[in-house]
Structure 1
Amino acid sequence: MTQTSPRPIFYGWYIVAIAFLANFMAVGTGFYAFNAFLEPLCEAHGWTRTQVNMALMLGTPFGLLGQFFFGTLVMRIGVKKLMITGSLISGIAFMLVFQVSSLWLFYLLYILLYVGNGAYGGIVANSAVSNWFIRKRGKALGIATAGMSLSGAVLPLAAMMLISRLGMGTTAILIGAMVLVLAPLVRLVIVNWPEDKGLQPDGEIQSQPESEPKLSGGLAMGITTPGIPLEPSCVLDDVPRWTLGRLVRTSVFWKVGPAYAMAMIGVVGVMSQLKPRFVEVGFSDTTAMLLMAATALAGTLGKYVWGALCDVIAAPKMASTIMAINGIGLLAALFVHSPAAIGLFVCLFGFAMGGVMSTYPILVADLFGRKAFPSVFRFMGGFLVFQMLGFGIAGASFDRFGSYTPAYILFMGLDVIAALMLLSVKRPPAACDD
């Protein structure tokens, strides 16, 4: 009796692992670590929270507008060179940003940090994963983007402990060095396309000949996007050229983009200052940070679960559900003197919040196809520039009213609108999976 050797791990999962680390460091250094550095920065330099939050507001448009530039470069040079360059820029910027006492120089370095993070995380890391998967795209991107939320559970707490012992400057150098380590890892592991290694997406052993058209629903290859049927005319190598002019004439552009922008206003407004919010309502610094970490940890689980669900249930329905649960979680957060309500907020908002940025690239890839993803997402990602309003709204709410509660009420309303907008999303004409 012959014994068959086990099938080797599909190389695409190594790409997912690197994308996970990239998203962990990009979001962790540019966003979540702010929870640990915000109060020490204000105390050390006499800056207000609105002034410090301005760094995030200034960095966000540069980082997100850079997504258009990086999306274009991905199509021309691939993801590998971008990820190496971005991690080097970001690592050095993070080492320096907390060493300065000049507010304008702090802003400048934070902008550089955001640009560097955009070059190795976000659309670039997610494109690397999307290139390697079709049937398992939701699961793969769910794992890759889980790094975003896991960074919120790990990095702020670690940074707070390091700052208390070593100070802001040394802590920044140590974290920046962790970002620099990504460069050699990317160089060793990242391959732009499975075809470059003689493989097929998802690790398929046999593939459909390129000359054969895909049947409606992807039946020719057994590949389908749940609830979003493919056009019968789609051919494997017939990838639509999605210019901005063509994209703005689709309803998808004006439903999906604004909906995710509204959701992200609330997500970044809450998560960038969640530890200070818990302190505001009476928790100690350590307990507040642990609650913030628990919320981010719930988001880590949410990113994977929501991503995996998108493989079996229509992504627009999943996205709408996520926005609705976000709003319910924020409602629970208003009952600040109820431990049960706080626990409900951590579980509901954390779990749903994690699905926002994991389902965005999944939804775009499902609607437009694997090869069209970077050309479309470079435009769709532009809507996320409006998330910078979340930083300003949260900071102004505290400075003016002494509480984050007014901001939470506004964020809750935006989630409800976003949930309603996503219910009617349909695949645009001529889009095809590939």
Structure 2
Amino acid sequence: MGIFAPLVGFLVDRFGSRKLIFSGVICVGFGLILLSFTRSLFMFYGAFLLLGFGAGGCTSIVTMTAVGNWFKKNVGIAFGLLSAGFGASGLLIPLIVWLIDVVHWGTTLIILGLGMWGMGIPLSFVVRDKPEAYGYLPDGEIAPEATFPKERQIEIPIPFKEALKNKYFLFLNIAEVVRMMLVTAVVTHAMPYLGSIGMPRSTASLVVAGIPLASIIGRVGFGWLADHYPKKQIFVFFLFTHGNGFVYILFSSTIGDDFLLPLYFSAQFWWIYGTAGSNPSRIFWQGHFRQDVRDCYGKCFFRRYNWANFGRFCFR
């Protein structure tokens, strides 16, 4: 996803969110089905390239663009509710683990691919790109038939090259790179860690499922806070809670009770994972780079996800 992020940011700017989501769903479905027939390293890499491009085309940059076009006043809670869907996906983890045990991983991937098409394609047609094309303004306001120049609020576009020179872009990129390195490392190694302390795979899957579910609190909560309080202070608090979450998980292994450890692990993780979904950095992008927000998102996500992969490697 990180490699394709700049390309996806460019494409969504030119073709809109609906077309990108539709194409992304098709690619993800093909990628999952192709992965089920993998018999060589070449097929494995090809399937994941298709999955990466498809996932980038129907998540994150594309969906945030659609939401950002429709909301200005309550953009924080809108991003929070959008990202709550990512948290709710944790419900699928125990189901996927059960399917692998029953029908093995190949058939499971085919079921997931067909399910992606069956649900994703119809839902892609629900997406609307820009409210102006339907006679509305952001936040659902009705566009007046005639507006005098002095009453019209004009947004001056920021050229993308100028945005690259902006200090906000630089600082947010650095913050996102560090955050994604750490968060992704913890997410990637959650299941192996729980297995290393003797927890059965079925139980570990429930614990890992609890991580995104618990994150819904942080996603929606921080989105609401960003709409009602100064965004700079919320962004600082957001990073502070990330640090707290990592410290809590660092000492989670000292808890001897096998029952309390999963609860403790999932409960504390919402600090560092839940705040990621509706984090104020996204709202910063929306505020400072509205006209070129897709390209800015793309370049930022390129750095975030590639450094996230570096984080996976470092914490092996």
- Given the two structures, how large is their TM-score scaled by the length of structure 2? 0.89
Q: CA RMSD in A?
A: 2.2
Aligned ranges 1:21-40 → 2 under 5 Å: none
- Asked whether 1:274 is paired with 2:190, we answer yes
Residue in 1 that maps onto 2:298:
378
Whether 2:267 is the aligned partner of 1:347: answer: yes
Corresponding residue of 1:162 = 99
Residue 158 and residue 351 in structure 1: after superposition, are their counterparts in 2 closer, same or farther (change >3 A)? farther
Question: How far is 1:337 from its partner?
Answer: 3.6
1:145 corresponds in structure 2 to 83
Quickly say closer, same or farther: Cα 1:279–1:138, change in 2 above 3 A: same
Higher relative contact order (CA 8 A, sep 6+): 2
CA contact (8 A) 2:160 2:295 kept: yes
Indicate if the aligned counterparts of 1:329 and 1:344 stay in contact, CA closer than 8 A.
no
The 5 Å alignment of 1:129-144 reads 129-144=67-82
Q: Is the 8 A contact 2:249 2:268 kept in 1?
A: no
Deviates more, 1:119-128 or 1:349-358: 349-358
Question: Are the counterparts in 1 of residues 36 and 107 from structure 2 also a CA contact under 8 Å?
Answer: no
Secondary structure of 1:248's aligned partner: helix
| Alpha-carbon distance in structure 2 between the residues aligned to 1:280 and 1:96 | 31
User: 1:190 matched to which residue of 2?
Assistant: 127
Matched with 1:172 is 109
| Aligned equivalents of 1:116, 1:355: Cα separation in 2 | 25
Q: Give the distance between the partners of 1:175 and 1:383, measured in 2 at CA.
A: 29
CA contact (8 A) 2:163 2:289 kept: no
Aligned length: 308
Deviations 1:342-378 (A, max 9, x none): 6444223224312124223222112323x33213222
The 3 A distance-change label for structure 1 pair 288 and 368 is same
State the match for 1:294 in structure 2. 210
Counterparts in 2 of 1:175 and 1:186: CA distance versus 1, 3 Å: same
Superposed displacement of residue 210, structure 1:
7.2
Q: Is the 8 A contact 2:77 2:227 kept in 1?
A: yes
Give the counterpart letter for 1:299 in structure 2: S
Unpaired segments ≥5 residues, structure 2: none
Equivalents in 1 of 2:151, 2:261: separation in Å? 53
Instruction: Give the TM-score of the pair, scaled to structure 1.
Output: 0.66
**Letter of the aligned partner of 2:128 in structure 1?**
V
**Match of 2:70, SS?**
coil
Deviations 1:72-108 (A, max 9, x none): 1222221111111111011110122143232332122
SS of the equivalent of 2:160 reads: coil
Where is the helix percentage greater, Structure 1 or Structure 2? 2
Q: Which runs of 5+ in 1 are unaligned?
A: 1-62, 215-234, 397-434
Report the alpha carbon displacement of residue 132 of structure 1 after superposing the two structures with TM.
0.6
Q: Does 1:284 align with 2:200?
A: yes
Could you tell me the percent identity over the aligned residues? 25
Equivalences for 1:353-392 in 2 at 5 Å?
353-359=273-279, 360-369=281-290, 371-384=291-304, 385-392=306-313
Asked if the contact 2:28–2:55 (Cα under 8 Å) also holds between the matched residues in 1, the reply is: yes
Q: Kindly indicate whether residue 178 of structure 2 is the aligned counterpart of residue 241 of structure 1.
A: no
Alignment of 1:6-85 (within 5 A): 63-85=1-23
Q: Secondary structure at the match of 1:192?
A: coil
